Amino acid sequence: MKKKKNFRGNTLPALVMVGPVTLWLLLLVAVPLIYVVFMTFCSLDANYNLVFTFTLDNYKRLFDANYVQIYAQSLLIAFSTTLICIIAGYPFAFLIARVFTKKKAILYMLVIIPFWTNSLIRIYGWRTFLGSSGWLNNMLTKLHIISEPAEFLFNRGTIILGMVYCLIPYMILPLYTAVEKLDKSMIEASKDLGAKGPATFLKVILPMTASGIFSGSIMVFIPCLGYFFVADILGGGKSDVIGNLIERQFQSGNNWPLGAALSVILIAITLLLVKIYQICGGDMENLGV
């Protein structure tokens, strides 16, 4: 074997450096992952205990109409969230990177600081804010815009709002990087050659920052499928995402094999999206890979 030769003489230091990380990855990533995949082929006995009798039932159940509906809903929520994040995040990223360059640090911090607070707490904050006796309802009633508290919570729109709120930094940061990397002389060259603002944007700025939009979209879309707590807290269990399904199987449903199968599906979707991203020429480094 060729590889063995390269180890010659350097095995000990190499082991010391790479060993702990490898061990960590093995024990905490690879082994659990293999166990999850293994579980999908198991079944439950009468007492809901995991027993290994090979079955494909868990995968068959994934095509249950109720589940398919939730996948569709989850994808819809993820698409909408991603789209809103692009539309809202692009101008902001552009402003930080190119217009308010002197206030760059402050604006950048505005995006980063919420990161430092637990997102669960922040989502509860939204619930309090939007609730029937929440701040928004109170204010609107006092201003006599509405006569009685309106129901802002527990619909798909609120879930999307929460998702956008949680995930928009993941869109803004790669966009910011892409826009900032754009050489000013490209924009000048376009104008110099006769293009006005909109043409310059469409023909030069947008294609040259597409990689940022692309990696931002991946980084928003994928977590969006799994952020069950947002759907739980703001959706009140009415509009679930794939994450909710999985969570329920492992907790109240007590059906680990089915939960594992759902997880595998989620992983498969994620890998598929990343593969598409890679095929389309996306920079893997932007995803932190």
Partner 1 sequence: MEEKKIIVEIKNVNKVYQGTNAVVKDLNLNVYEGEFLTLLGSSGCGKTTTLRMIAGFEDITSGTILVEGENIEDKEPFERNVNTVFQTYALFPHMTVFDNVAYGLKIKKKPKGEIKTKVMEMLELVQLGGFEKRYPSQLSGGQKQRVAIARALINQPRVLLLDEPLGALDLKLRKQMQLELKRLQRKLKITFIYVTHDQEEALSMSDRIAIMNDGILQQVGTPVEIYEQPATRFVASFIGETNLFDGAVSSVDGDKVSVSIESGVITGKGTDFKVGEMVAVSVRPERIKYSVRPVEGFTVPAAVKEQVYVGSVLKTIVVLPNGNEIRIERLAGEELPAEGMVYLYWKDEDAKIIHSFDNNIFAAIDNIQLA
Binding site residues, partner 1, CB under 8 A:
183, 185-186, 188-196, 199, 203-204, 207-208
> 98 vs 127, which CB is nearer to partner 1?
98
> 8 vs 196, which CB is nearer to partner 1?
196
Distance of closest approach, residue 191 Cβ to partner 1, in angstroms: 4
> 136 vs 208, which CB is nearer to partner 1?
208
**Which pair of tokens denotes residue 211?**
């990689």
Who's near 190: CB < 8 A, 6+ residues apart? 199, 200, 203, 204
CA–CA dist 85, 213 (Å, integer): 10
Exposure letters 31-52 (e unless 16+ CB within 10 A, then b): eeeeebeebbbbebeeeeeeee
> 175 vs 230, which CB is nearer to partner 1?
175
Distance of closest approach, residue 53 Cβ to partner 1, in angstroms: 55
Distance of closest approach, residue 142 Cβ to partner 1, in angstroms: 46
Distance of closest approach, residue 185 Cβ to partner 1, in angstroms: 4
- The backbone torsions φ and ψ at residue 282, rounded to the nearest 5 degrees and listed phi first, read -70, 145
> 98 vs 191, which CB is nearer to partner 1?
191
CA–CA dist 284, 81 (Å, integer): 22
- The backbone torsions φ and ψ at residue 51, rounded to the nearest 5 degrees and listed phi first, read -130, 145
- Of residues 162, 154, 156, 199, the one with CA closest to residue 85: 162
Distance of closest approach, residue 203 Cβ to partner 1, in angstroms: 8
